């Protein structure tokens, strides 16, 4: 296969960046998209040009490192597929492919297709945990969990933190990511004691990081490589509302006037 | 310089060793802990669990990972599950039985006391993970569900669909996130370890490179914990993530830590075969597929018919024929070796001839498409996504791939290496899996090390030394930084013609051919002759574009490949020296008449620990004898 690639090149965070065009030959349909990028880099290296920087690690669709907007869609044309599991057989010979980094205010470009997603980590640090130390714990079977609830929690917990939801959102919102994290713990009995504090802290951090607001475009769900449902967003909104209206900030004190 | 192999195994009966040890080790009081700095490198299951646990105890933790987030460490990719001797299924499972299975599975090449402790701690890991909110699979009544895994006769594996590693890592990482938020752990992402700094015979810190700015700097601490994983990427093509590397453990070795059993590398039987020369990594398909899939090749050599055209009597179900009792569920090493054998004999299928069929036709016929779909649907989808073929209609093509390294830094019972102050946990150490690891045991070992062992045993070392004795202003740090800056400059100044990738592929092919599933003397000698040639070509003909003071992925890769090129030699020397077959290590010269591994307990019931003696010098071998007190070694026979 012969392809024409339009790739975003940006030396560093301060560089304005530009699209560069490359012709690439010798691509095979059974190559993965990232192997095609490896091939491009090999050819650039031979010509003495800087290879295109891009993130990838496990290449099995689970670490969430890879992050490319391909022909305008985060992770490319196949549904429920991360870039690393996208194969060239989905493109035709002679195709022109545009490749860009995640574009969002909260994800500044580091170089070429590599962006800084540390904002996601800070949302987690704000409250995405159950406070337990390491050491002896009660036997887990002392607290049964309905299998449907455990499965639903796992549907949320399956988020790989890639950021495609943010890249797909016209507002650059991180609602699907934050909602997945909030719902995972909020559904399980272990997450109950900190449930309302957690949703408030994580939403506050999300806003601090400069992510946009949710307008229910649902582009996030369409782009999610793990097909996480936007119904988790409404679950988070319910929890958030409860936390701000019904639950007093200090359960032993008086409720703040609304 | 000599290595002292004081394993420090506590006295007493095996069931009492760990408890007695805890009663007597030295502790650090809660008020003193914040005065000590502990460096943790790597944020997989072992590293994240250790950093979070020790942070919560009050120690000051500096934690490092080369990924952009601690959550992306390669533990995340573990699929199948985690073992624990809970005996929820009333099958007579026990700590002893898990210990027995692990020892036998490892072909009696691991340290008994460590393996028993692992089995003992297994139950607590499940309790800990559930308390963190890990959503394990549940039965209808709401209690935890189990499934079975290769090489054992009980159902003791806990799981979260096909993403158990991901969920356990998110659990450990949530604990880590809390400590980062509270300031007890300082997290350094996109930061790679380049070297360990040793002052007066003790590990005192590390030198790192910030992968975004290229800045090389130092961190000092009272102890250094390496949780940096395994070295399967020495084969270039493996199931490991692209970034996995040997740099931290190899650098530690060069600074005085003994490297144990480097030749023990597990080759996983069920991976998707390489499609061609362009292949960048191999994808694992969960071992659980062997519960229902039947493995076969055509009875005729170089048969080019499609699978569906081959009638039943012309299909060779080689595992079922050779191992009637375990059939397709033989342990990983046995399954891998047999797949290679039939392919080498010319029975292999697929474009390269390096593949065997894993067929679900009969399972779908017997149990119904719905049942099989519910068990393996997500794996079938993944296979289809990668190969474009539907395994419900045509059998899967599989072939073994390097997956996990049982070898690693030698550690004592406290998980301290032979370099005082340097600890190794998880896959980075050698201790628990002997010559072959059983499925669903790696997650267990990483978390036992990280949550329950290192947070306590590290105190025994730390409490014997005053805190913060040496800072980064010490000349050893400055010197190490300077050496590394020069090395980086040297890598960039070769201006040759070949990419890093091409050298890594060459090394990988050489290692796969000569130090892979089966090894022999001639092949290993050949490899030992060729590795220095590739290394020389690397240092003379490497081409890296870009500079050192920016994000430069080729430069990162070059540093890792340079270390693999040195380490590979030690692997081959170890494989050559171990003149027996055990577990994953199959020396063709040492086999039974019917082609099974022939162990030699008289001469090789020891851990082979290597000391680095300088560039171009032969490493020196030390032996830690293995004592089998609780469980006398038996022949590992899966035929009867």
The domain spanning residue B520 has which CATH number? 1.20.58.100
Burial class (CB in 10 A: 0-12, 13-18, 19+), B631: middle
Please work out, in degrees rounded to the nearest 5, the angle formed at the alpha carbon of residue B130 by the alpha carbons of B125 and B134: 105
Q: What are the chain B neighbours of A49 within 8 Å (beta carbons)? A: 545
Q: Does residue A252 surpass a pLDDT of 90?
A: no
Contact B69 A120 (CB under 8 A): yes
Same domain, B508 and B588: yes
Report CA-CA distances (Å) from B236 to A115, B1, B396, B501, B571.
Answer: 26, 33, 23, 9, 15
Q: pLDDT digits over A135-152, tens only?
A: 999 999 999 999 999 999
Angle between helices B553-577 and B247-254 (to 10 degrees): 60
Q: Which residues contact B315 (CB under 8 A, 6 or more apart)?
A: B296, B297, B298, B299
pLDDT at A177 > cutoff 90: yes
Range B188-213 average pLDDT? 98
| Residue B488 covered by a domain | yes
B320 and B194 within one domain? no
- Same-domain check for residues B118 and B196: yes
Tokens 């493995």 label which residue?
B295
| pLDDT given for residue A253 in this prediction | 64
Q: Give domain status of residue B435, yes or no.
A: yes
In sequence order, what are the beta bridge partners of B397?
B357
B-chain residues near A33 (CB < 8 A): none
Residues B395 and B426 in one domain: no
- Exposure on the CB side of residue B97, measured as CA atoms within 13 A: 15
Per-residue pLDDT, A54: 98
Q: Could you read off the pLDDT of B26-74 as tens digits, one per residue?
A: 999 999 999 999 999 999 999 999 999 999 999 999 999 999 999 999 9
Does B319 map to a domain? Answer: yes
Confidence of residue B1 (pLDDT cuts 50, 70, 90): low
**Residues B313-328 pLDDT 10s:** 999 999 999 999 889 9
Which of A2-6, A96-100, B466-470 shows the lowest mean pLDDT across its residues? B466-470
The band of B331, judged by pLDDT with boundaries at 50, 70 and 90, is confident
- Look at A30 and B68 and tell me if their CB atoms are within 8 Å: no
What's the CA dihedral at B313, B316, B319, B324 to 10 degrees?
30
Q: Which CATH number covers residue B289?
A: 3.90.700.10
Query: Hey, of A54, A129, A145, A208, which one would you mutate to test binding to chain B, going by the most B CBs within 10 A of its CB?
Result: A129
Q: Cβ of A146 under 8 Å from any chain B Cβ?
A: yes
Same domain, B518 and B553: yes
SS3 B209: strand
The per-residue pLDDT for B288 is 82
Least reliable range by pLDDT among A17-21, B216-220, B327-331: B327-331
Mean pLDDT of B210-224: 98
Q: Does A89 touch chain B (CB under 8 A)?
A: yes
Does any domain span residue B104? yes
What six digits make up the tokens of B563?
């270390």
In the predicted structure, residue A202 carries a pLDDT above the cut 60: yes
Mean pLDDT, all residues of chain B: 95
Last residue of a domain, one of B441, B462, B483: B462
Domain assignment of residue B73, given as a range? 36-267+404-462
Residue among A118, A120, A132 at smallest CA distance from A188 = A132
Same domain, B439 and B485: no
Per-residue pLDDT, B121? 98
Q: Are A130 and B132 a contacting pair at CB < 8 A?
A: yes
Amino acid B317: pLDDT: 97
The answer to whether B71 and B170 have CB atoms below 8 angstroms apart is yes
Nearest to B53 among A134, A141, A190 (CB): A134
Mean pLDDT calculated for residue range A54-78? 97
Beta bridge pairs of residue A173: A212
pLDDT-derived band at B378 (thresholds 50, 70, 90) equals: confident
d(CA B385, CA B98): 36
- Stretch B214-223: mean pLDDT: 98
Task: Answer whether residue B26 is part of any domain.
Answer: no
Residue B503 sits at φ, ψ, to 5 deg, of -70, -40
Provide the pLDDT confidence category of residue A249 given band limits of 50, 70 and 90.
low
Query: DSSP code of A190?
Result: G
Residue B298, classified by CB atoms within 10 Å of its CB into exposed (0-12), middle (13-18) or buried (19+), is buried
CB distance B230 to B403 below 8 Å: no
Look at A134 and B275 and tell me if their CB atoms are within 8 Å. no
Mean pLDDT value of segment B113-131:
98
pLDDT, greater one: B304 or B151: B304
Q: Are B261 and B392 contained in the same domain? A: no
- Judged against a pLDDT cut of 60, whether residue A257 lies above it is answered with no
Region of poorest pLDDT, from A182-186, A217-221, B334-338 = B334-338
Query: What distance lies between CA B159 and its chain's CA centroid?
Result: 19
Per-residue tokens: B481: 């930084």
Closest CA to A119 of A154, A160, A166: A166
- Three-state SS for B261? coil
Distance in angstroms (rounded) separating the CA atoms of residues B275 and B351: 8
Parallel, antiparallel, or unpaired for β B157-158 and B82-83? antiparallel
Mutate to test the interface with B, among A39, A134, A191 (most CBs of B within 10 A): A134
Does B639 map to a domain? no
Q: Which residue segments constitute the domains of chain A, with CATH numbers given?
A: 3-111 (3.10.20.30), 117-246 (1.10.1060.10)
Residue numbers in B near A32 (CB within 8 A): 280, 386
Pick the closest to residue B167 from A156, A18, A71, A69 (CA basis).
A156
pLDDT at B286: 86
Query: For A201, which residue in chain B has the nearest alpha carbon?
Result: B181
| Contact criterion met (CB < 8 Å) for A190 and B386 | no
pLDDT of residue B149: 77
Q: CATH number of the domain at B125, please.
A: 3.50.50.60
Based on the fold, state whether residues B259 and B392 are members of the same structural domain. Answer: no
Residue B300 lies in a domain: yes
Residue in chain B closest to A152 (alpha carbons) equals B135
Query: B-contacting residues of A 199-238, CB under 8 Å?
Result: none
Assembly ipTM:
0.96
User: Is residue B302 located within the same domain as residue B392?
Assistant: yes
Instruction: State the total domains in chain B.
Output: 3
pLDDT at A255 over 70: no
Nearest of A34, A69, A240 to residue A162 by alpha carbon: A69
Asked if B71's CB is within 8 angstroms of A121's CB, the reply is: yes
Number of neighbours of residue B95 by Cβ within 10 angstroms: 20
Of A5-14, B379-388, B490-499, which range is least confident? B379-388
In a domain, B631, yes or no: no
Domain boundary (B383, B401, B419) is at: B401
Chain B contact present for A25, CB below 8 A: no
Say what the pLDDT of residue A56 is: 98
From the list A186, A176, A191, A183, the residue with the least C-alpha distance to A226 is A176
| Same domain membership, residue B507 and residue B451 | no
Residue B592 has which token pair? 């039974």
* In a shared domain, residues B591 and B516: yes
Per-residue pLDDT reduced to its tens digit, B256-290: 999 999 999 999 999 999 998 899 999 999 888 99
Q: Which of B184, B204, B332, B535 is catalytic?
A: B332
* pLDDT on residue A250: 66
B392 and B408 share one domain: no
CB contact under 8 A, A134 and B166: no
């Amino acid at each position: 296969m012969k392809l024409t690639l339009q790739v975003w090149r940006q030396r560093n965070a301060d560089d304005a960046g530009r699209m560069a065009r490359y012709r690439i030959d010798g691509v095979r349909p059974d190559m993965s998209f990232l192997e095609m990028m490896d091939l491009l880099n090999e050819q650039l290296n031979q010509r003495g040009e800087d290879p295109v920087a891009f993130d990838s690690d496990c290449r099995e669709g689970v670490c969430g490192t890879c992050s490319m907007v391909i022909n305008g869609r985060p992770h490319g044309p196949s549904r429920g597929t991360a870039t690393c599991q996208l194969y060239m057989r989905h493109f035709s010979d002679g195709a022109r492919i545009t490749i860009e980094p995640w574009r969002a205010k909260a994800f500044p470009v580091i170089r070429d297709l590599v962006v800084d997603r540390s904002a996601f980590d800070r949302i987690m640090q704000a409250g995405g945990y159950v406070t337990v130390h390491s050491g002896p714990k009660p036997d887990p079977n002392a607290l049964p969990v309905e299998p449907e609830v455990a499965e639903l929690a796992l549907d949320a917990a399956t988020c790989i933190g890639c950021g495609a939801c943010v890249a797909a959102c016209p507002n650059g919102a991180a609602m699907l990511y934050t909602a997945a994290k909030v719902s995972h713990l909020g559904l399980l009995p272990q997450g109950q004691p900190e449930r309302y504090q957690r949703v408030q802290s994580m939403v506050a951090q999300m806003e601090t990081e400069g992510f946009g607001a949710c307008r229910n475009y649902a582009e996030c769900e369409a782009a999610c490589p793990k097909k996480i449902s936007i119904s988790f967003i409404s679950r988070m909104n319910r929890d958030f509302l409860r936390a701000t209206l019904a639950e007093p900030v200090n359960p032993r004190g008086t409720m703040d006037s609304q | 310089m000599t290595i002292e192999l004081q394993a420090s195994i506590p006295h007493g009966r095996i069931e009492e060793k760990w408890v007695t040890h805890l009663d007597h080790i030295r502790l650090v009081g809660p008020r003193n802990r914040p005065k000590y700095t502990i460096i943790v490198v790597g944020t997989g299951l072992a590293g994240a669990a250790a950093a979070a646990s020790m942070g919560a105890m009050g120690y000051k933790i500096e934690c490092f990972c080369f990924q952009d987030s601690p959550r992306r460490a390669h533990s995340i990719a573990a699929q199948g599950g985690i073992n624990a001797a809970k005996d929820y299924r009333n099958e007579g499972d026990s700590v002893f039985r898990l210990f027995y299975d692990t020892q036998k599975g490892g072909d009696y090449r691991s340290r008994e006391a460590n393996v028993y402790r692992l089995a003992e701690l297994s139950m607590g890991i499940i309790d800990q993970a559930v308390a963190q909110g890990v959503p394990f699979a549940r039965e209808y009544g709401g209690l935890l569900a189990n499934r079975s895994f290769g090489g054992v006769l009980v159902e003791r594996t806990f799981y979260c669909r096909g993403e158990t590693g991901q969920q356990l890592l998110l659990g450990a990482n949530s604990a880590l996130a809390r400590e980062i938020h509270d300031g007890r752990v300082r997290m350094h992402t996109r930061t790679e370890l380049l070297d360990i700094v040793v002052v007066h015979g003790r590990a005192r810190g590390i030198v790192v490179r910030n992968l975004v700015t290229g800045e090389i700097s130092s961190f000092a601490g009272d102890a250094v914990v390496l949780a940096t994983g395994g070295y399967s990427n020495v084969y270039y093509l493996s199931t490991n993530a692209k970034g996995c590397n040997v740099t931290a453990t190899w650098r530690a070795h060069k600074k005085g830590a003994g490297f144990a059993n480097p030749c023990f590398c597990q080759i996983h039987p069920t991976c998707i075969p390489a499609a061609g020369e362009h292949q960048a990594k191999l994808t694992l398909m969960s071992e659980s597929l062997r519960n229902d899939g039947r493995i076969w090749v055509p009875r005729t050599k170089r048969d080019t018919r499609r699978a569906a055209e081959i009638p039943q009597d012309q299909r060779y179900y080689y595992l079922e024929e050779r191992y009637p009792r375990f059939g397709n569920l033989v342990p990983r090493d046995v399954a891998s070796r047999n797949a290679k054998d039939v392919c080498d004999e010319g029975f292999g299928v697929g474009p390269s001839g390096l593949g065997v069929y894993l067929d679900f036709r009969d399972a779908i016929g017997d149990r119904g498409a719905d049942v099989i779909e519910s068990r393996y649907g997500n794996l079938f989808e993944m296979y289809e996504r990668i190969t474009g073929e539907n395994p419900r209609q045509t059998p899967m093509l599989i072939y073994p791939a390097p997956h996990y390294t049982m070898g690693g830094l030698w550690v004592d019972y406290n998980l301290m290496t032979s370099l005082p102050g340097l600890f190794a946990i998880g896959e980075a150490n050698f201790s628990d899996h002997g010559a072959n690891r059983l499925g669903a045991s790696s997650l267990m070992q990483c978390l036992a090390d990280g949550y329950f062992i290192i947070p306590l045993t590290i105190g025994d070392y730390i409490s014997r030394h005053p805190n913060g004795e040496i800072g980064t202003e010490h000349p050893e740090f400055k010197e190490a930084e300077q050496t590394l800056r020069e090395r980086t400059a040297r890598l960039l100044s070769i201006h040759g013609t070949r990419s890093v990738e091409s050298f890594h592929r060459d090394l990988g092919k050489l290692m796969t051919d000569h130090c892979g599933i089966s090894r022999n003397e001639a092949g290993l000698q050949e490899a030992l002759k060729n590795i220095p040639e590739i290394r020389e070509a690397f240092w003379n003909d490497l081409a890296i574009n870009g500079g050192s003071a920016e994000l430069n992925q080729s430069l990162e890769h070059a540093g890792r490949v340079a270390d693999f090129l040195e380490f590979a030699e030690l692997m081959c020397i170890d494989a050559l020296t171990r003149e027996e077959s055990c577990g994953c290590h199959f020396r063709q010269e040492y086999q039974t008449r019917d082609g099974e591994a022939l162990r030699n307990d008289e001469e090789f019931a020891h851990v082979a620990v290597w000391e680095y003696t300088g560039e171009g010098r032969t490493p020196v071998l030390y032996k830690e004898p293995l004592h089998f007190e609780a469980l006398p070694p038996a022949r590992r026979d899966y035929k009867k």
